[in-house]
Amino acid sequence: MTYQVLARKWRPKTFSDMAGQEHVLQTLIHALNHQRLHHAYLFTGTRGVGKTTIARIFAKCLNCEQGVSATPCGKCTACTQIAEGRFIDLIEVDAASKTKVEDTRELLENVQYAPSVGRYKVYLIDEVHMLSNHSFNALLKTLEEPPPHVIFLLATTDPHKLPVTILSRCLQFSLKNLSPQMIAEYLKSVLVAEQIPFEEAALWSIARAAQGSMRDALTLLDQSISFCAGNVTEAEVNSLLGTPDQALVMGIVQALNADNASELLEIANTISSRAFDYFMLLDSLLALLHRIAIAQLVPGGIDNSQGDREQILKLAAELTAEQVQLYYQIALNGRQDMSLAFDARIAFEMLLLRLLVFSPQAPDLAAAPVLSADAEQKKKPELIQQEAKPEHPSKAPAPATPRQDAAAPSFPQATPAAAFVPELETPAVDSSAEIAAGASTAEPAKASDTTPPTPIPPASGQTVPHASLNADDTGEFWISLVETLGVTGITGNLLANCVLLSMDENSMTLALDETQSALFNEEHGRRIGDLLREHFQRPLDISIEIAGIDAESPARYQQRKREEALLQAQQAFENDEHVQALVTNFSARIMPDSVKIIDEVKT
Ligand SMILES: [Zn+2]
């Protein structure tokens, strides 16, 4: 008795046997059951996802002697002959080997003749994108005026290479890659039916290695069965595939979590002694970190199909989300580095050490200045000395970031000027009460035109500085006043570019920076006057002159504060012991321009 390979033996014979591709099957079944048939179908998708399998079942559905339906009998002559690949009205062509125009012509010249035995003449052209331009033209002519008894089933891994004229005449179905879970389940059903003992983890290894292709998965399963002498175990499958044991990969993350360098090196030794494929190893590590990250967000989202649910949930609880993200990022970058390294083993061990050395400082990421140049360093890594680890990571001092200034260089802050703010900020209720009490102040702006203003004592809590203020105080007073007014737009911008020259109980004189005066007009002057009169609740006489100014306007003050904050952030970053350790130990280069103040980064 000859052995039939699993991929052929277990090729689905009906739509209900298929694993996955429900979205395609549903449409086809509906079309078949309602006899709404198109004359050309195009199935796209990567290799081994079921394109030709679906096409063959479809051919059976069309030609089954029991009638057109989505459930061919599988027993009639047409069904059995199609299953055996010798049905005369199913013309299968592999376009990869028949690309010449003569071939296509020969193929298509019999199109107009009615089917010999079946109901439909079905042309199944695999890898149709391989046809030459002339062949496409010949095919196109047929597709433009298809005889009613002909149905074209086209399959390709590369639909982008098809002319649009062909694409537009086909019903297109895009087949998806099969998920590892789907593949593992299918393999399981095959092994149960074949009565072959197996370990579930072995099936997952095969499913991952098959990368979405069921045909590859079945071929790998075939190899595994003969390699494992009948009992499909994880260890043997992994050694066949060159994939690492999940337990080993789990061990890496556990050692990282425990900060255990010697354990990690031991794992590295085991790995090198078993000659694993380091890329696969890294992919497994990435997949594991991905599962941990998911478990942190949705603990219920992790299945136990790999038998590691408990371990993953434990790690998800013990690691911070930042740690998992950082490990993932380092491992992903490491994958790229590994392809450059002359020795993958060394690159992998370096990667393990890098993972160990970096541990994100989870609680206070937002406070630290951000180095935007490098994703790894973005996480504000913390260096743990390898030989001597005197201090626990969490005990390490936070970087001496001037958080207040760096994070929020908000306008006059912790300066003497701030002392003015509370005095100037009068609750609205108080002001209106004041207005009600003193009728003469009800319309202060207009009143100033007609009645000579009598000195009115400032409204309660409002301090009007007198000429006795020295120049510095005037500046601070004005800066905090403009901040308190909180005006935006052009008026706000003009105000911020003014300095206060003088002020007494009846008048204020401002100077507008001439370099910023282009937008200034009478309307703005009037608005500024109204704003100030309203604020002080008195008929102030406001004059604004345009001049070159030396004093610090609110706008310049803000600019200076920003620059200072940035400089402080840069210095704090450069002086940070962890950053210095990076520079010393890893030849890191600081790019001062990439240091940003957090609120600027966010916006
Ligand atoms: Zn049949």
CA–centroid distance, 150 to ligand 1, in Å, is: 19
Residue with more model confidence, 498 or 587:
498
CA–centroid distance, 537 to ligand 1, in Å, is: 96
CATH number at residue 274: 1.20.272.10
Q: pLDDT band at residue 380, thresholds of 50, 70 and 90? A: very low
Domain that holds residue 268: 242-360
Q: Quote the pTM value.
A: 0.52
CA–centroid distance, 156 to ligand 1, in Å, is: 27
Q: Name the amino acid, one letter, at 475.
A: G
| Helix residue ranges, H only, 17-50 | 22-33
pLDDT at 155: 94
Buried b (16+ CB within 10 A) or exposed e, 261-300: beebeebbeebeeeebebebbbbbbbebbebbbbbbeeee
Residue with more model confidence, 191 or 133:
191
Residues 449, 456 contacting (CB under 8 angstroms)? no
CA–centroid distance, 33 to ligand 1, in Å, is: 15
CA–centroid distance, 219 to ligand 1, in Å, is: 29
Q: Name the amino acid, one letter, at 186.
A: Y
pLDDT at 168: 92
Does residue 199 lie within any of the structural domains? no
Long-range residue pairs from 450-455, CB within 8 A, at least 24 positions apart, any chain = 453/506, 453/538, 453/539, 453/541, 455/505, 455/506
CA–centroid distance, 2 to ligand 1, in Å, is: 26
CA–centroid distance, 8 to ligand 1, in Å, is: 20
Residues 292, 284 contacting (CB under 8 angstroms)? no
CA–centroid distance, 282 to ligand 1, in Å, is: 49
Does residue 541 lie within any of the structural domains? yes
CA–centroid distance, 81 to ligand 1, in Å, is: 10
Structural domain count, the chain = 3
CATH number at residue 111: 3.40.50.300
Does residue 236 lie within any of the structural domains? no
DSSP for residue 399: P
Q: pLDDT band at residue 471, thresholds of 50, 70 and 90? A: low
CA–centroid distance, 422 to ligand 1, in Å, is: 91
- Decide if pLDDT at 399 tops 80: no
Q: Please tell me whether residues 261 and 131 are part of one structural domain.
A: no
Does residue 26 lie within any of the structural domains? yes
CA–centroid distance, 115 to ligand 1, in Å, is: 16
For a pLDDT cut of 70, what percent of the chain falls above it?
78
CA–centroid distance, 407 to ligand 1, in Å, is: 74
Mean pLDDT, rounded, of the chain:
78
CA distance 151 to 298: 47
Candidate from 15-24, 135-144, 217-226, 304-313 with smallest mean pLDDT: 304-313
In three-state secondary structure terms, 544 is strand
- Decide if pLDDT at 71 tops 80: yes
The pLDDT of 376-391, averaged and rounded, is: 40
Q: Name the amino acid, one letter, at 318.
A: E
pLDDT at 383: 40
CA–centroid distance, 195 to ligand 1, in Å, is: 29
CA–centroid distance, 89 to ligand 1, in Å, is: 14
CA–centroid distance, 63 to ligand 1, in Å, is: 7
Q: pLDDT band at residue 113, thresholds of 50, 70 and 90? A: confident
CA–centroid distance, 14 to ligand 1, in Å, is: 11
CA–centroid distance, 355 to ligand 1, in Å, is: 60
Q: Please tell me whether residues 355 and 467 are part of one structural domain.
A: no
CA–centroid distance, 79 to ligand 1, in Å, is: 4
Domain boundary among 132, 152, 174: 174
CA–centroid distance, 462 to ligand 1, in Å, is: 97
Does residue 217 lie within any of the structural domains? no
CATH number at residue 515: 3.30.300.150
Candidate from 22-26, 354-358, 384-388, 583-587 with smallest mean pLDDT: 384-388
CA–centroid distance, 236 to ligand 1, in Å, is: 42
Q: What is the pLDDT of residues 431-460, one digit of tens each?
A: 333 333 333 444 444 444 444 444 444 444
Domain boundary among 320, 338, 360: 360
The residues facing 382 across adjacent strands are 359
CA–centroid distance, 424 to ligand 1, in Å, is: 92
Q: Please tell me whether residues 353 and 426 are part of one structural domain.
A: no
The pLDDT of 131-141, averaged and rounded, is: 84
CA–centroid distance, 215 to ligand 1, in Å, is: 25
Q: Please tell me whether residues 275 and 342 are part of one structural domain.
A: yes
pLDDT at 378: 40
In three-state secondary structure terms, 514 is helix
Residues 182, 19 contacting (CB under 8 angstroms)? yes
User: Checking DSSP bridges between strand 358-360 and strand 381-383, what pairing results, if any?
Assistant: antiparallel
Does residue 114 lie within any of the structural domains? yes
